[in-house]
A and B are shown apart, each in its own frame.
Chain A
Amino acid sequence: MEFVMPVFAGIVVIFGLVKRVPVFDIFLKGAKEGMLLLYNIAPTIMGLVFAVDLLRSSGAINVICNFVEPAADFLGFPKEIVPMVLLRPVSGSGSTALLTSLYQDCGPDSFAGQVASVLAGSSETTFYAVAMYFGSIKVKKIRHTLVAALIADFTAAVMSIITVRFFT
């Protein structure tokens, strides 16, 4: 699978050559646009990284987990994965770090390990995507985007338990 990206890029370049477009000139034009896009989303990303760093270093994430754990217990949620469920929508690298430490503690083939794997595979960093995409065009009123996106995260969390129980 590692090879998909280079193959994809290669196909595009060959396609361009076949269609006789000035491939390199166009590449340069696009790369410049990429730089501009980055310039537009940079503040949003800095703001988010800042908030997530604060959340983790202050111990706030542990406090929130302690609040949620009884409810998770009640729903049959392994309590080891509660921090990951909470951090997943905000930080990709943060939740990956939690995933690896969970693999280390419980093993990837344990129940908690498998639920965490399914969760990581079936959800995305919601806040990050929402903030980045709307931040890039400076749209403030995002209407029901966040509600729908968080329902997706919640569904993924519930379904990851149900599917692991059912299939493994």
Chain B
Amino acid sequence: MLNYIWSGLVIISILCAALLGNTNELSTALLDSGASSIELLLKMAGIMCLWSGIMKIAEESGFTAVIAKFFSPLLRPLFPNLKKDSPAFRSITMNISANILGLGNAATPFGLKAMEQLHTLNNKNDTASNEMVIFVVMNTASLQLLPTTVATLRQSYGSIAPFEIIVPVWISSACALTAALTIACIFNQKKR
């Protein structure tokens, strides 16, 4: 599916550039995007290494087990086939709790680890398991309790009440998450 979306994006862009006469801009972007993605990766590299290291300490010292215990009643129903003390379930709880606290950067390494561990439990190598679908869908919805980035931006552009949007954000993200999980669960019921 991603194959088609990605090629669609590229083809549409090139067609549009040709029709609108933006070919110069397109060529520049083509050359620059390599550089900008390496820049992004370098930025990520530092964060990934740091948080993977911290996560390893959390794992070996039993900190993740404590967090998992705290959040598992909430997450258990979504992953009925995972054992409560499995490494995959622990990574998932760490990822979700980091997301809720707004530690997006810290959440990513946990999430990638969780996918790796879910993959070892998966009996089909190239197909997503039910757990993977639920987990990735949760990560595409916003779980963050305090939308700090948005509030900071609002404030810097002169908003009188930067946090005024917080209740709408909660309701809106709760609805989005519920909708996505409902769809995911309904499709999960169907045979793989």
> What is A's interface to B at a CB cutoff of 8 Å?
1-2, 4-5, 8-9, 11-13, 15-16, 18-19, 21, 23, 26-35, 37-38, 40-42, 45-60, 63-64, 90, 96, 99-100, 103-104, 107-109, 113-114, 117-127, 129-134, 136-149, 151-153, 155-156, 159-160, 163-164, 166-168
Question: How many residues of B are in contact with the other chain, CB < 8 A?
Answer: 106
Mostly helix, strand, loop or mixed at chain A's interface? helix
Listed from nearest, the 5 A-B pairs whose CB atoms lie closest are A30-B56, A34-B52, A121-B147, A163-B168, A57-B29
> Which residue of A1, A99, A107, A164 is within 8 Å of B153 (Cβ)?
A99
CB contacts under 8 Å to A, within B139-173, are 139-142, 144, 146-150, 153-154, 157-162, 164-169, 171-173
Mostly helix, strand, loop or mixed at chain B's interface? helix
Q: Closest Cβ of chain A: how far from B55's Cβ, in Å?
A: 6
Query: What are the residues of chain A within 8 A of B175 when measuring CB–CB?
Result: 155-156, 159
Could you list 6 examples of A-B contacts with CB < 8 Å?
A16-B57, A16-B61, A16-B63, A142-B1, A147-B183, A159-B176
Contact B179 A155 (CB under 8 A): yes
> Which residue of A33, A141, A144 is within 8 Å of B184 (Cβ)?
A144
Closest to A118 in B: B168
Contact B164 A51 (CB under 8 A): no
Contact A118 B169 (CB under 8 A): yes
